[in-house]
């Protein structure tokens, strides 16, 4: 076969890039990929579905948004008491070309009732104060159009996501007030069941969702609040998908076919998601990304319980120093299997294979995880992930979809459904009665 001259190859590569042909066909070095990423993200906001920075401000800095300067790279600066450096700051958000960020307003599942409502509102206030503190870099967003407008202004569109249905205290009135205060998605559960929904990591109780849980989904549709199915059981996923008139999201989940962790999404659900026109935003948590890491996590938890598991027993029950030494010895013999950027790309590829390219996005869980995959240490690393997808043949159009266009489509669709339902469906006054003591 005749080999074209270098000038001809360059011309072919340039035409291929303009046409959005796969990266494997076009010129394939990092400079080419970086140029393509820059071009895509100049037109499409990169949107991350989940970042836990608000809780870090609450837990580490007593909710004082001025206690740490986010205009300074925090990657080498330990937090109070030697805690891990933050994964998020403005220089790295800029380097990562982040155009939109859902900031999670997570609270622990053991906080319930009116206290849960207050704590949630306080964390929502942290998000708003953060954006006000950095007006040249962040701006609150409430609609898909807001995200596009703020991205064009070269700021990070900042949105609020509630990470657990326990945070509304089983009240649709509270749900409505959370929406009015700015929340644009709610995860139906966190790690434990709510009185109306089953979590992926708790024993099933409601066959997915109770009738009140279905009413929560319907009211979220009426409001225009995205239904987030990360953390819920597969049965709850199915019930919610059947009940929802709007596309749903998974704000931070990966593919269960690759890692058998209950926080990941099974293939049969991915097919239902495609029919719903929703999106899975792939999580970076190593235990959800790497099967070897998932198994290591389980082995270590079992070993920890073997040494000290109050009040039930353990080899060194009541002897925390001996238990600590024994666990350290186990750790030394069993190094943590690394998760990698390439494995995260595997999950994105798999979801594309099963559900389609229109149904996958990015939901890092940065600042909500203790470790990250190799190559994805913080919010500056999104371009590296997109470049890996380009190496696998993803076109510029595909990259735009996973970066943000899929989430924007879902959000705009939810807004249209809400506009219709608000004219046809009255607000429900239902509040679930408190459980008997």
Residues annotated as part of the active site: 50, 52, 163, 190, 231, 252, 365
Dihedral sign, CA of 352, 358, 359, 363? Answer: positive
Residue found by looking up tokens 């989430």 in the block: 407
Angle, CA 52 vertex, CA 59 and CA 227 arms, to 5°: 130
Q: How many other C-beta atoms lie within 10 A of the C-beta of residue 18? A: 11
Rg of the chain in Å (alpha carbons): 22
Helix-helix angle 291-307:320-333, to 10 degrees: 150
What residues contact residue 316 under an 8 Å CB cut-off, 6+ apart? Answer: 307, 308, 322, 323, 326
CA distances from 190 to 124, 151, 399, 403, 405 (A): 17, 30, 30, 25, 27
Q: Three-class SS of residue 102?
A: strand
CA distances from 268 to 61, 235, 239, 358 (A): 42, 11, 13, 17
DSSP class per residue in 386-412: HHHHHHTT--HHHHHIIIIIHHHHHHH
Nearest one of 344, 406, 345, 415 to 44, comparing CA atoms: 406
Compute the distance between CA of residue 156 and CA of residue 95 in angstroms, rounded to an integer. Answer: 12
Helix-helix angle 113-133:53-61, to 10 degrees: 100
The 8-class DSSP code of residue 82 comes to G
CB 356 within 8 A of CB 402: no
């Amino acid at each position: 076969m005749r080999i074209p001259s270098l000038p001809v190859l360059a011309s072919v590569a340039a035409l291929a890039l303009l046409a959005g042909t796969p990266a494997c066909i076009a010129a394939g070095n990092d400079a080419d990929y970086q140029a393509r990423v820059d071009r895509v993200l100049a037109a499409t906001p990169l949107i991350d579905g989940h970042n836990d920075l608000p809780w870090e401000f609450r837990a580490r800095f007593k909710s004082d948004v001025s206690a740490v300067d986010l205009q300074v790279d925090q990657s080498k600066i330990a937090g109070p008491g030697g805690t891990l450096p933050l994964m998020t700051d403005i220089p790295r958000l800029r380097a990562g070309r982040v155009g939109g960020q859902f900031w999670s307003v997570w609270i622990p599942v053991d906080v319930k009732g009116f206290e849960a409502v207050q704590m949630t509102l306080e964390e929502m206030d942290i998000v708003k104060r953060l954006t006000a503190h950095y007006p040249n870099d962040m701006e609150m967003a409430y609609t898909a159009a807001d995200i596009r407008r703020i991205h064009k202004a070269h700021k990070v569109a900042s949105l609020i996501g509630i990470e657990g249905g326990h945070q509304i205290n089983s009240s649709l009135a509270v749900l409505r007030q959370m929406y009015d205060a700015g929340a644009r998605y709610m995860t139906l559960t966190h790690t434990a069941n709510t009185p109306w929904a089953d979590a992926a990591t708790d024993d099933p109780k409601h066959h997915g969702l109770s009738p009140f849980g279905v009413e929560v989904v319907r009211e979220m549709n009426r409001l225009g609040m995205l239904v987030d199915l990360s953390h819920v059981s597969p049965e709850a996923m199915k019930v919610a998908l059947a009940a929802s008139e709007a596309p749903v999201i998974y704000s931070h989940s990966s593919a269960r076919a690759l890692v058998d962790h209950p926080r990941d999404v099974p293939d049969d659900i991915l097919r239902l998601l495609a029919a719903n026109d929703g999106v899975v935003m792939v999580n970076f948590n190593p235990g959800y990304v790497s099967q070897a890491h998932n198994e290591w996590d389980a082995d270590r938890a079992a070993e920890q319980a073997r040494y000290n598991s109050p009040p039930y027993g353990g080899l060194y029950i009541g002897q925390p120093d001996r238990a600590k030494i024994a666990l350290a010895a186990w750790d030394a013999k069993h190094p943590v299997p690394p998760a990698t950027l390439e494995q995260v790309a595997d999950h994105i590829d798999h979801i594309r294979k099963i559900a389609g390219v229109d149904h996958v996005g990015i939901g890092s869980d940065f600042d909500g995880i203790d470790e990250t995959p190799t190559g994805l240490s913080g919010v500056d690393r999104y371009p590296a992930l997109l470049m890996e997808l380009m190496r696998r043949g993803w076109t510029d159009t595909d990259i735009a979809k996973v970066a943000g266009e899929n989430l924007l489509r879902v959000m705009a669709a939810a807004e249209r459904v809400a506009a219709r339902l608000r004219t046809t469906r009255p607000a429900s006054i239902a509040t679930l009665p408190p459980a008997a003591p």
